[in-house]
Amino acid sequence: MDIPLDLQHQQMGYDRTATMFSPQGHLLQVEYAEKTVRLGSSSIGMTCSDGVFIIADLRIDDKLIVPKSANKIYEIDSHVISSVAGIVSDARVLIERAQVLAQQNRVTYDSPIEPELIIKDISNLKQQFTQYGGARPFGVSLMVAGINNGKPELFTSDTTGNYLAYFANAIGENDDKIKEKLREKYNSNIKIKDGVKLALEILKESVEKKFNIGRFELVYITNDGKLTRVYGDKLEEWVK
């Protein structure tokens, strides 16, 4: 049955603004932003007994692009990293804000910032863009991992501005399938090396024939605060 013209116009009104609830109680522009995130490249984050890591799919197939110029994992501070899924240019604004916040904390308090303060500030800004007119929501989810007083922490912020702490999580393409596998196979006593191997196995299952270890990026932080970045083919050593 065709939808009456006046009802179509009414639905289009809810669709075109990020600040108006639909009759079903949805902010449609925010939900569209979430769909954008699910089109983004996959990232897996995991807290381990000896630290925390994030592994991300750079999704670069063009040989003309310098891989290191297309990072999906960013260093917020020497003890905090973040990966993104969705519109990377949106994420860059949030990442730079987080980097400034971390620097200000060191200058003001002479101490490293807690990872949760970073994700909370980013989430507050994302929430504002779902509430005020004249701007669209940020089309990006961020995963923030770091060390806080020698303990690994992992947080994820969605397009609504909500955030939660996780033991292990995934964002981007096939995130539901990846999280199902993580629920089955993750345990809190896992080491970083075994965790990376598990993450790569899950990613290989999720992308199937498209899997190429050379297009992945790994950043991990040990409990003593040492940050290490591993690119592409060097990840081969982690799956032996």
Task: Please give the domain boundaries of the chain with CATH numbers for all domains.
Answer: 25-239 (3.60.20.10)
202 within 8 A of 44, measured Cβ to Cβ: yes
pLDDT band at 210 (very low <50, low <70, confident <90, very high): confident
Distance CA 177, CA 205 (A): 9
- Secondary structure (DSSP) of 127-150: HHTTTSTTSPPP-EEEEEEEEETT
pLDDT, greater one: 187 or 214: 187
> What pLDDT is attached to residue 27?
77
Tokens found for residue 201: 């196995």
228 within 8 A of 220, measured Cβ to Cβ: yes
pLDDT higher than threshold 80 for residue 80: yes
- Secondary structure (DSSP) of 101-128: HHHHHHHHHSSPPPHHHHHHHHHHHHHH
pLDDT per position as a tens digit, 14-53: 666 667 777 777 777 888 888 889 988 899 999 999 999 9
110: left (phi over 0), alpha (psi -120 to 50) or beta: left
> What pLDDT is attached to residue 5?
45
Residue type at 180 in one-letter notation: E
Distance CA 7, CA 150 (A): 57
pLDDT, greater one: 214 or 139: 139
Q: How many CA atoms lie within 13 A of 129 on its CB side?
A: 20
State CA 3 to chain mean position distance.
38
Q: How would you label 208-219 residue by residue, b for 16+ Cβ within 10 Å and e otherwise?
A: eeeeeeebbbbb
pLDDT band at 4 (very low <50, low <70, confident <90, very high): low
pLDDT per position as a tens digit, 96-134: 999 999 999 999 999 999 999 999 999 999 999 888 777
Helices 115-128 and 88-109 cross at an angle (nearest 10°) of 130
pLDDT per position as a tens digit, 146-198: 999 999 999 999 998 999 999 999 999 999 999 999 999 999 899 999 999 99
Percent of the chain with pLDDT over 90: 61
Distance CA 106, CA 112 (A): 6
Distance CA 98, CA 76 (A): 6
pLDDT higher than threshold 50 for residue 9: no
pLDDT higher than threshold 80 for residue 94: yes
Mean pLDDT score across all residues of the chain: 88
Report the predicted TM-score, pTM, of the whole model to 2 decimal places.
0.89
46 within 8 A of 197, measured Cβ to Cβ: no
